[in-house]
Structure 1
Amino acid sequence: MKNKYILLLLFIFPLIGNAQLYTKKQIDSILQEEVSLIRDGKLEDALLLNIDLAEQSAKINYDNGVSIAYIRIANILCMIGRHLESLKYLNLADKKVSVKNDPLLKIRIYSIYGRNYSALKIIKKSIDYFNKGIDLCKKTSPINNRLLSNMYSNKASAFLSTDNKLDSTLIYLHKAIKTKESPFRYAVLANYYLKVKINNDSATSYLNKCKELMQRYDVTEYHKSIILQAQANLYKSTGNYNAAIDYYQQSLDISHQIKKYLEIRLSYKLMSETYELLREEKKSHEYLVKYTQFSDSINNLYKKDLDIIINNFLKEQEDTHQKTENRMSFLFGVSILLSIVIIIVITYYYRKKRLSLITEKEKVIKQKEIESDELKQKINEAFTELTSLAKNNDPSFLVRFQEIYPNVCEELLKINPKLVNTELSLCAMIWLNFSSKDIATYTFVQPKTVQTKKYRLRKKLKIPSDKNIYSWLKGL
């Protein structure tokens, strides 16, 4: 495949050197190469190829070539976690493609929109796009079963982040397989039964079906990584931890190669958990640190993307408001006039009453300020006292903390009554916003040990992986 791609480039470069442009036929031919590159996991090569083809198509006014290239660039960017850039290319493609002229391209656009918003946890918008794609698939003749099945599968994945995830996810996974079988979809269904339904027999059955279909279907590198991960999950659930580690590592290697950041993060977490089951604490901690660091970097990337998306959404709303402003101007003017009249009447009424109440209000405000200052002073004194007890590793630290902040430990014990005093003390220090370094110093342990204790605490309290433990505890 690599030699074929090199020959293709050798064919292209002489044309460029002679200042000749691609023809539509040449562009269509080269576009076919992108499918093989994606299948082989050569995402960067595929990305560069499509960027070049978008530019060449634009030079000869080949709009269809430009649209296809934009859609494929957006798809690759979505695959490697660059969701903001992916959405920008989708917006460009969306303006060029109409449902009437090319419904299949429009379906692909809806699919990638849905996957981007699902990854960014904007679930309602994600499901809306998948529904658009599903409706459009059903209206095309003949129905493209592969695209429809992909839509069902992606919609099932999006539902995992909703309250009704169990029923809806399973319904759409089965719809996806019923529409068009594939090894990847059976692996996804097996994973579902391993992680959500906890049914090893069903998972084994679907993985066997997956292996059977792999004899007849070509599998992309990404799909191969998911299948390997599903097999590892099965080994882990049946106690064959060494085999699970081997398959997780194979899946992780592929994810690194094709830059699938979410799958890399998940593999780190799963390997840490499996090494913990093997009682290999050093290895478990090593992968836990990798998972934590990778999670932080991904969360920061998503937060940045999400902020910009929100700003773009606000701009869209402003544009929509501008378009309707002329039609609403009369009603708006009447509303403003009526509001002014009401304000004048209310102001006149309350101005008369205010003269008699102003002295009393000032007294109340002054008293509130005094109480607020006293409360702040008490809080500062309590915090200073607790900090001193923590620094001295005083056994009475937890007792004093419970006296000052009784609700915190009560709420924690409601969540998990089996929490011991050392875990409650750690929670108290986190609640007081002590850093991991501070906690390690006060309790005479290494910072890595504090990180491990935090991770175990997250599991006992069932704190979601995307939640900051400090913010979560403060929210009790």
Structure 2
Amino acid sequence: MYNLKFLLLAIFLYSSCKANISITSIDSLISVTDDQLYENNVDYITQNAEKILKFSELNNYEKGKLYGNFFLGVTARMHGDNENMVRYTFAAEKLAKEYDDKYVLAFIFLQKATIYKEAGLYNSALNFINQGLTVSNSIQQYEKRNCAKGKLLVYKAICMSYLNPEWKQILRINLEAMKLLEKAGKPFGYDYNYLNVASTYETLGELDKAEFFYRKSLKVSTGNLKGMGYCNLAHLAFLHGRFEDATNYANTSLDYQENNSNKRYRDIAEIYQLLTKIYTETGNTAAAKKSEKLFEYYHNKENYTNELFKKKLLIQLLAKAELNQKDFEMEVSKKSRNLLVFSVISMVLIICLGMIYMKQVKSNRKTIEKNNEQLSELSQQINNSFSEVLELAKSDDPAFIPRFKEVYPVFYQNLLSRYPDLTIAQIRFCCLLRLNFSTKEVAHYHRLTIKGVQTRKTRLRKQLNIPSDADLNLWMMNLG
């Protein structure tokens, strides 16, 4: 009997030591990964974050789950993966509040600002930035506090530039951010901040200062950001009439942009637009026409991918906001019921509880109204994308199906999973019915006879086993 107890005790102590060793190693990995975050080492961070999150979920280690989700949200933003950026960022936010980690929470607000800025909701983005700045004041460690505040101010200046910008105020914010980042002693962040300072000086007409900070950014930047630095120097050289320098800088910028695995079509388009101006000024007509065509190609590609990105992000944010709203209203209802019960039972405290209840109801009503405003704003932007899909359908545009998939993902996925043998033409026809096009409208917009459309409907009913008395358009709408 004693031997059995001793054995169980030994097993327990071994398991505890093993768990502690594992948790200690995870804490060390979190620290190392956090350092790599400032070096912009995306692949290294992603690999470590996945290990941290997997271990922590298996062992229910709250700190590991927090940092795993946080790191994966950051790398998702760097990869342009908006679905996972929203998923991991919102998961990390909940954990950061429970764990009361001010450092991570400040960066979570920065992540949320990025999400809302990418969706075109600049006022919401600024609101999250201001929340992040408030939280960052509570960060105890000097370097981390300055780094968080510096990065938040960098993004505050970016968001403000989209909203009737006051450039002198933006310059003050950028310069303050620069001081904080330099105090933090972290190189990652200088590059973007120096570019922002320089471009603000350029907008204000102080070109010498602009060039100084563009060159400063080149010393600490890599990849796309280095390419942007050279593009801006090319622009300044062009303004000064130094066309040879401008051409050299522009071509160097292209080398960084086009050879990067994560191409930024907007920046490449900007370079070709500048080269078009340079070649036009120097009389090189053939080169100017070639650059102009390349500018149009990358400009259109940027607009198309950017719109798809924004619409996917808006749909995802709308779904998330609706879910949060539902959870919040359920919580409000539960709290209200509890307060009423207590007010009845506790006759002595009925007046105090009544005042608390009314205050709570008023506060909750304000929060619900604020959430509803956000939902309304998101819904309006979604409705705009629905209108665009209708216009593409009417004009029989090749971009109709890709856009339709973004706006009606559930319907499209259900249709293909249930009926994988449908042809492209049949899928397109089903999409038109899902949009509630009548037989006459389908015939008009797609150059068909009414009889021809009716024949297609009959064949589709047979193939999909849809009863003859069922409304075909309504059936499609119920599919998703």
TM category (shorter chain) comes to 0.5 to 0.7
3-state SS of 1:239 partner: coil
Summarize the Cα distance change of 1:249–1:53 in structure 2 as closer, same or farther, 3 Å threshold.
farther
Q: Report if aligned partners of 1:123, 1:161 keep a CA contact under 8 Å in 2.
A: yes
- Equivalents in 2 of 1:231, 1:190: separation in Å? 10
Which aligned pairs between 1:339-418 and structure 2 lie closer than 5 A? Answer: none
RMSD, aligned CA: 3.5
Output one character per residue of 1:86-116: Cα deviation in whole Å (capped at 9) or x when no partner.
Answer: 0110111111113873211111111111122
Output one character per residue of 1:136-167: Cα deviation in whole Å (capped at 9) or x when no partner.
Answer: 22233354212111111110001111023434
Which 5+ residue runs of structure 2 have no aligned equivalent? 1-18, 183-189, 281-287, 341-480
- Equivalents in 2 of 1:286, 1:71: separation in Å? 38
Q: 2:108 is matched with which residue?
A: 109
Q: Indicate which of 218, 221, 227 corresponds to 2:229.
A: 227
Q: Report if aligned partners of 2:237, 2:245 keep a CA contact under 8 Å in 1.
A: yes
- Equivalents in 1 of 2:28, 2:116: separation in Å? 32
Summarize the Cα distance change of 1:71–1:235 in structure 2 as closer, same or farther, 3 Å threshold.
farther
3-state SS of 1:206 partner: helix
Q: 1:414 is matched with which residue?
A: none
Q: 1:297 is matched with which residue?
A: 305
Q: 1:197 is matched with which residue?
A: 204
- Equivalents in 2 of 1:21, 1:313: separation in Å? 39
Is 1:284–2:292 an aligned residue pair? Answer: yes
Is 1:62–2:61 an aligned residue pair? Answer: yes
Q: Report if aligned partners of 2:53, 2:64 keep a CA contact under 8 Å in 1.
A: yes
TM-score between the two structures when normalised by the length of structure 2: 0.56
- Equivalents in 2 of 1:320, 1:62: separation in Å? 27
Return the letter of the residue paired with 2:84.
E
- Equivalents in 2 of 1:223, 1:100: separation in Å? 35
Q: 2:272 is matched with which residue?
A: 271
- Equivalents in 1 of 2:252, 2:61: separation in Å? 42
- Equivalents in 1 of 2:164, 2:309: separation in Å? 25
Return the letter of the residue paired with 1:230.
N
Worse-superposed segment, 238-247 or 59-68: 238-247
- Equivalents in 2 of 1:278, 1:41: separation in Å? 36
1:62 CA drift (Å): 2.7
1:176 CA drift (Å): 0.9
Return the letter of the residue paired with 2:26.
I
Is 1:324–2:332 an aligned residue pair? Answer: yes
Q: Report if aligned partners of 1:193, 1:202 keep a CA contact under 8 Å in 2.
A: yes
Q: Report if aligned partners of 2:63, 2:99 keep a CA contact under 8 Å in 1.
A: no
Q: 1:314 is matched with which residue?
A: 322
Output one character per residue of 1:26-61: Cα deviation in whole Å (capped at 9) or x when no partner.
Answer: 334444664687677663454244223311232233
- Equivalents in 1 of 2:200, 2:163: separation in Å? 15
Name the % identity. Answer: 16
Summarize the Cα distance change of 1:101–1:220 in structure 2 as closer, same or farther, 3 Å threshold.
farther
- Equivalents in 1 of 2:305, 2:95: separation in Å? 34
- Equivalents in 1 of 2:79, 2:244: separation in Å? 29
Q: Report if aligned partners of 1:40, 1:221 keep a CA contact under 8 Å in 2.
A: no
- Equivalents in 1 of 2:73, 2:248: separation in Å? 33
Summarize the Cα distance change of 1:190–1:131 in structure 2 as closer, same or farther, 3 Å threshold.
same
Return the letter of the residue paired with 2:133.
I
Summarize the Cα distance change of 1:97–1:292 in structure 2 as closer, same or farther, 3 Å threshold.
same
3-state SS of 1:163 partner: coil
- Equivalents in 2 of 1:175, 1:93: separation in Å? 28
- Equivalents in 2 of 1:202, 1:84: separation in Å? 39
Summarize the Cα distance change of 1:178–1:37 in structure 2 as closer, same or farther, 3 Å threshold.
closer
Q: 1:404 is matched with which residue?
A: none
- Equivalents in 2 of 1:27, 1:251: separation in Å? 40
Summarize the Cα distance change of 1:203–1:321 in structure 2 as closer, same or farther, 3 Å threshold.
same
Q: Indicate which of 233, 238, 242 corresponds to 1:236.
A: 238
1:189 CA drift (Å): 0.9
Q: 1:50 is matched with which residue?
A: 49
1:308 CA drift (Å): 2.3
Q: 2:162 is matched with which residue?
A: 161
1:209 CA drift (Å): 4.9
Return the letter of the residue paired with 1:314.
E
Summarize the Cα distance change of 1:37–1:309 in structure 2 as closer, same or farther, 3 Å threshold.
same
Q: Report if aligned partners of 2:233, 2:246 keep a CA contact under 8 Å in 1.
A: yes
Q: 1:424 is matched with which residue?
A: none
1:21 CA drift (Å): 11
Return the letter of the residue paired with 1:240.
R
3-state SS of 1:139 partner: coil
Q: Report if aligned partners of 1:42, 1:258 keep a CA contact under 8 Å in 2.
A: no
Return the letter of the residue paired with 1:115.
T
- Equivalents in 2 of 1:42, 1:251: separation in Å? 22
1:268 CA drift (Å): 1.8
- Equivalents in 1 of 2:262, 2:200: separation in Å? 20
Q: 2:213 is matched with which residue?
A: 206
Summarize the Cα distance change of 1:208–1:269 in structure 2 as closer, same or farther, 3 Å threshold.
closer
Which 5+ residue runs of structure 1 have no aligned equivalent? 1-19, 331-476
- Equivalents in 2 of 1:275, 1:32: separation in Å? 48
Matched length: 306
- Equivalents in 2 of 1:93, 1:251: separation in Å? 36
1:175 CA drift (Å): 1.8
TM-score between the two structures when normalised by the length of structure 1: 0.56
Summarize the Cα distance change of 1:234–1:171 in structure 2 as closer, same or farther, 3 Å threshold.
same
- Equivalents in 1 of 2:93, 2:310: separation in Å? 23
Q: 2:97 is matched with which residue?
A: 98
- Equivalents in 2 of 1:253, 1:83: separation in Å? 27
3-state SS of 1:180 partner: helix
Return the letter of the residue paired with 2:297.
V
